[in-house]
Amino acid sequence: MTYQLALSLISGIFIAGSAAYLGTLMLSRKMAVIAGPLGHLALPGAALAIVYGFSISLGAFPFVVLGIIVIWLLEIRTKLAMEALTAIVFATGVAIAFLFLPIDKAEAALVGDISKVGIYDTLASMVLGTLVVVIINRSYSKILLINIHEDVAKTEGIDVKLYNLIYLSSIAIIVALGVDLVGGLMTAALVAIPAAAARNVSRTLGQFGATAGLFGIASAALGIVLSTITALPAGPLVILASGIIFLATVPVSRAW
């Protein structure tokens, strides 16, 4: 195994594993779709990073945070359906990205470029991915109770604003990291597909989180290894691998 492949695998595994674990919570709130527009909003940041030669995740992060604030404010102010906001945010993000992004360099922003990840980005993926898993794990029952019934959570003394902030910050970190792995177009899949596959085969909450993480890790490893063999981009192969895992779980679905 080459040094570069090792870095790519380590980054991919940490990003995809933590994204999938977070995805189990996003599925409960039907929020997996939000990762889509956030990924798209990350595109201008990714474009700037490519043009000025710094980390794509670092460029994406402030734009994702901005995206979360924009979606949150738009929802409060306009009461528009999330689907409408998704369309607005998606189009705006992509339009801004293509104003800055040289078209010959677009691929990395659109479908990710984990095959060229450096040591510092790998370390950042390890630290931030682990941080998100630890924080979400400690807050899981409270965030899930908020997702199931916010009023009950409040009467149980849960600080809903604090946990929503923790939840949204975790989403921002994961989307920014995800842009590096699978690009701005497919971050929602990184969050949603392994979680959906895990739901098909899990009977308990514990199994759900662990299986989602494993499916995320397996998708990343499979996609990155296939990419080195076929010389095709890793991002789409990672998503394709998770799609195949999802399809494999459908016949044994325990949902109903």
Partner 1 sequence: MNDILLEVKDFGVTLDNTPVLSGLNFTVTEGEFLTVLGPNGSGKTVLLRSLLGLIPHTGEMNWHKKPRIGYLPQGLNQVSVRDMPLTVKDIFGLKELKPAEGVTFLELVGLEGDIINKRAGHLSGGEFQRMLVAWVLASHPNILFLDEPTTAIDVAGGETVYSLIKEIWQRKGLTIFNVTHDLNIVYAHSTHVLCLSRFGHRCYGIPKEILTPDVLRDIYGAEVKLYTH
Shortest Cβ 29–partner 1 spacing (Å): 8
Q: Does 202 bind partner 1 (CB under 8 A)?
A: yes
Instruction: Provide the minimum distance between the beta carbon of 39 and partner 1 in the complex, in angstroms, as a whole number.
Output: 22
**Burial (CB count <10 Å: 0-12, 13-18, 19+), residue 7:** buried
Q: How far is the CB of 165 from partner 1 (least distance, A)?
A: 19
Nearer to partner 1, 2 or 204 (CB): 204
Distance separating alpha carbons of residues 220 and 239, to the nearest angstrom: 8
CB 114 within 8 A of CB 16: no
Q: Is 254 in the site for partner 1 (CB under 8 A)?
A: yes
Provide the phi-psi class of 69: left if phi over 0, else alpha when psi is between -120 and 50, else beta.
alpha
Q: Does 138 bind partner 1 (CB under 8 A)?
A: no
30 interacts with partner 1 by CB under 8 A: yes
User: Between 103 and 255, whose beta carbon lies closer to partner 1?
Assistant: 255
- Interatomic CA distance for residues 161 and 159, integer angstroms: 6
- The 3-state DSSP class for residue 195 equals helix
256 binds partner 1 (CB under 8 A): yes
- Least CB distance from residue 54 to partner 1, whole Å? 39
Say how many CA atoms lie within 13 Å of 55 toward its Cβ: 18
Gap between the Cα atoms of 24 and 198, Å rounded: 8
Q: Which residues bind partner 1 (CB under 8 A)?
A: 24, 27-28, 30, 141, 144-145, 148-149, 151-152, 154-156, 199, 202-208, 254-256
